[in-house]
Amino acid sequence: MKNIDLEKVFDSACGDIPLQEPRDLWPGVRMGIMRLGEQARPAKSLWAAGLSAAAVLLVLSIPGATESIKNGIKKLFSSAYSVQLGGNAAASGTLISADGELKEIRAGDMLLEVRVTDFDEQRVMIALSVFYTGKQPDGSVKKLISKPKILTMKGKSAEITVTNNQGKPVYKFKMTPTEKDPAAYTGALAPITPVP
């Protein structure tokens, strides 16, 4: 059979196939656009103290993998967090991230990138990047302080030690990830010793 005939056959046959109808995507798109706007907005200087401040306390609380969707292909993490630098008031919010999605938390000159990835049924990978975004002597505005990563058992407490650029332990990050338990993902990043 010639292909030109097949073209007619399929033109006719496909004419009966309706296109899949989505629900109205605009509300979700609009929300995404608004989120883009928030991310693009310059971070406000909530604290005068930079990374060199003597007392820096950062607390991250991620209450659990709350929902497993699409047959385990994608898991959703809802993460309440609070960030505190020096003696200033803590900033807090909720971080919603899909499995493996990189999320940012800004707090003054600090930028924390968190990625929680489901590894298997028993384990989860927590990847953390801590940046200082204040202006550096060399003119740069984003300096990676530490990029720890840990593979940990769900339901077990995990600890990540964050060091400064001299390799000296500065912060300790603790997290207890337990799937489907909203209260189980808790973490704290606190200084071991004050930075001089």
Interacting residues with other proteins (CB under 8 A): 1, 3, 6-7, 9-14, 16-17, 19-26, 28-30, 32-33, 36, 69-70, 73-74
Shortest Cβ 91–other proteins spacing (Å): 25
Residue placing its CB nearer to other proteins in the complex, 19 or 44: 19
Residue placing its CB nearer to other proteins in the complex, 22 or 196: 22
Shortest Cβ 22–other proteins spacing (Å): 4
Number of Cβ within 10 Å of residue 165's Cβ equals 11
Q: How far apart are CA 17 and CA 104, in angstroms?
A: 43
Question: What does DSSP say about strands 56-60 and 74-85: parallel, antiparallel, or unpaired?
Answer: antiparallel
Q: How far apart are CA 91 and CA 111, in angstroms?
A: 13
Shortest Cβ 100–other proteins spacing (Å): 8
Residue placing its CB nearer to other proteins in the complex, 26 or 139: 26
Q: How far apart are CA 104 and CA 166, in angstroms?
A: 25
